[in-house]
Structure 1
Amino acid sequence: MLGYVVHRLGSLVASLVVASVVVFAAIEVVPGDPAAYMLGMNASPETVAALRTELGLDAGPAVRYLDWVGGMLTGDFGVSYTYRTPVAGMVADRLQVSLPLAVYALALSTAIAFPVGIWAASRRGTAVDAGVMGATQLGVAVPNFWFAMLLVLVFAVNLRWFSAGGFPGWGAGVGPALKALTLPAIALALPQASILARVMRSSLLDTLGEDFVRTARAKGLTRGQALRRHALRNALIPVLTIVGLQFSFLLAGAIIIENVFFLPGLGRLVFQAISARDLVVVESVVMLLVFAVIVVNFAVDLAYAAVDPRLRRRA
């Protein structure tokens, strides 16, 4: 197991290095000068040059890349061009919204998908199975932003159970904060739960057809006992991949939902930074999201090894 972990750690570091180069290069080729954008069209060339020097934009790409990477390693993400405040503080403030929202949505997605997928697989070919598959197909087809607006219309405008948007902050208490995140989390969770339930059902049906499950049934176990004791553990391997990818998507891809509900998260921060050409904020936030994706995939690989002993022996 230790060899497997060391091998995956090496892959994680290599992936982060390559990702940092790609992110920096992609931002570099974006047309336009942030200094000229900040000062406006009527700014003199001398003023633009002075601002470029102040922001460190006159240094070469290699120097700026090394300064950026070195700063991130020490927790210094630079200073925002637009707000003139440390990017690390801005990201930390926005993570207090985006990270709980992603965890909340993933917990809802998993809590819905696992029992629904297992229930559909245990009743394959019945009306229950057909109904579940039809509902999950609808969940996959409906865009989450449209579903979010529908939730606002029903539960905020008509029923007035929730607010239509905004975030009171964790200082107002855990209850009000979680209540403000409930509708966005549901809007994010239901499409992902539909995907996860379908994957869970398919994986479980494939496992139920294996020889070891038939052997367990021949020894006297009922279908439910064979499913719980033998099939479910083996069926979790492909499902873990989807769970890991879903968390990465929920953390990095909630920009539309955060704008629908006016949540001050990372998604809105990236959107505002792109609009203001605040490239240092874009670079840092995108790299942080890439880091989250790679770390989640690393955790999924470790979960693979815990579920499937063949990976540990192979490593």
Structure 2
Amino acid sequence: MLRYALTRLLSLSLSLIAASLVIFAVIEVIPGDPAAYMLGMNASPESVAALRDQLGLNGSLASRYLDWTFGMVAGDFGQSYTYKVPVIDLVAQRIWVSLPLACMALVLSTLIAFPIGIIAAARRGRPTDYGIMGATQLGIAVPNFWFAMLLVLVFAINLRWFSAGGFAGWDKGMLAGMKSLLLPAIALALPQASILARVMRSALIETLDQDYIRTARAKGLTRRQAITRHALRNAMIPVLTIIGLQFSFLIAGGIIIEQVFFLPGLGRLIFQAITQRDLIVVESVVMLMVFAVILVTFIVDLAYAAIDPRLRRRA
């Protein structure tokens, strides 16, 4: 198990280095001068040059990349051009919106997907299966921002059970903060639950056709016992893959939902930084999100090895 973990850790570390090179290169090829953008069209060349020197934009590409990467390793993500505060402070403020939102959406999607996926697999070919598959196909086809606007229309404008947007803040209590994130979490969770339910059904059906399941049934186990005791665990590897990918998407891809609900999260921070040409914020926050994705992938790989001993022996 240790050798397997070290092998995966080395592979993901190389992926992190490659991602940092790609992010830095993409930011560098974006046209326009951040210093000139910040000072405006009427700024003198001397003022632009002085600001470029202050922002560290006059160094070579290699030195700027090394300064950026070694700074992140040391915990220094640079200083925002726009907000005049360290980037890590902006991240620390926004992460407590994006991370709970992603966790809530993932829990909701898992709680919805697992039961309906198992029911669809257990009743495959029956009207219940067809109904669930039709509903999940609709959930995949409809964009999550449309769900978000529908939820606002019904529960915020008509019923007035929730606010239409904004975040109450954790200082006003856990209940108030969770209530502010509930509608956005549902809007994020419904499409993800549809995908996860279909994967759960497919993996479980494939497992139920194996010989050892037939043997378990022949020994007297009911279909439900065969699913819960044998089939479910062996069907979890593709499901874990989707869960890991979904959590990564929910952290990094919630920018549209955060815009719809005016949530001060990391996605909205990236959107604002792009519009304001605050490139150090874009670089650092995107790199943090990539690190979160790679970390989740590593945890999922460890979960694979815990579920399937063949991976440990192969490593």
Taking the aligned partners of 1:275 and 1:154, their CA distance within structure 2 comes to 32
Q: 1:262 aligns to what?
A: 262
Offset of 1:219 from its aligned partner? 1.3
1:90-129 maps to which residues of 2 (within 5 A)? Answer: 90-129=90-129
Q: What SS is found at the alignment partner of 2:121?
A: helix
Aligned mates of 2:251, 2:203 — CA distance in 1: 26
SS in 1 for 2:166: coil
Alignment partner, residue 202 of structure 2? 202
In the alignment, residue 259 of structure 2 is paired with which amino acid? N
* Alpha-carbon distance in 2 for matches of 1:138, 1:275: 34
Kindly state the Cα deviation for residue 83 of structure 1 after the two structures are TM-superposed: 1.0
Deviations 1:245-281, CA, capped at 9 Å, x for gaps: 0000000000000000000000110000000000000
Question: In the alignment, residue 308 of structure 2 is paired with which amino acid?
Answer: D
Which residue of 1 is the match for residue 229 of structure 2?
Answer: 229
Where do residues 225-304 of structure 1 align in structure 2 (5 Å cutoff)?
A: 225-304=225-304
Give the 3-state SS of the residue equivalent to 2:235 in structure 1. helix
1:29-79 deviation digits (Å, cap 9, x = unpaired): 111100000011111111100000011101111111111111111111000
Q: Is 2:63 aligned against 1:63?
A: yes
- Where 1:272 maps in the other structure, the secondary structure is helix
TM-score (norm 2): 0.99
Cα deviation code 1:148-177 (max 9, x no counterpart): 000000000000000000001110100000
- The corresponding residue for 1:137 is 137
Q: What is the RMSD computed on CA atoms of the aligned residues?
A: 0.6
CA distance in 1 between partners of 2:35 and 2:251 (Å): 30
Q: CA deviation at 1:297?
A: 0.6
Aligned residue for 1:50? Answer: 50
Q: Distance in 1 between matches of 2:241 and 2:272?
A: 32
> Residues of 2 paired with 1:147 and 1:216: CA distance?
43
Shift of 1:288: 0.5
**Which residue does the alignment assign to 1:152?**
152
Query: Which amino acid letter does the alignment assign opposite residue 11 of structure 1?
Result: S
* C-alpha distance in structure 2 between counterparts of 1:216 and 1:310, whole Å: 22
Moved more, 120-129 or 93-102: 120-129
Output the CA distance in 2 between the equivalents of 1:81 and 1:60. 19
SS of the residue corresponding to residue 78 of structure 1 reads coil
State the Cα deviation string for residues 164-192 of structure 1 (Å, max 9, x = none): 00001110100000000000000000000
Q: Distance in 2 between matches of 1:92 and 1:20?
A: 21
AA partner of residue 23 (structure 1): I
How far apart, in 2, do the equivalents of 1:107 and 1:221 lie?
A: 31
In structure 1, the partner of 2:17 is 17
Partner of 1:310: 310
What one-letter code is carried by the residue in structure 1 that aligns with 2:63? V
Match in the other structure for 2:6:
6
Runs of 4+ in 1 over 4 A off after TM superposition: none
Unaligned 5+ segments in structure 2 are none
Residue 12 of structure 1: how far off its partner (Å): 1.6
- Equivalent residue of 1:299, what SS? helix
Identity %: 74
Give aligned pairs, total.
315
CA distance in structure 2 between the aligned counterparts of 1:81 and 1:87, rounded to whole angstroms = 9
SS of structure 2 residue aligned to 1:206:
helix
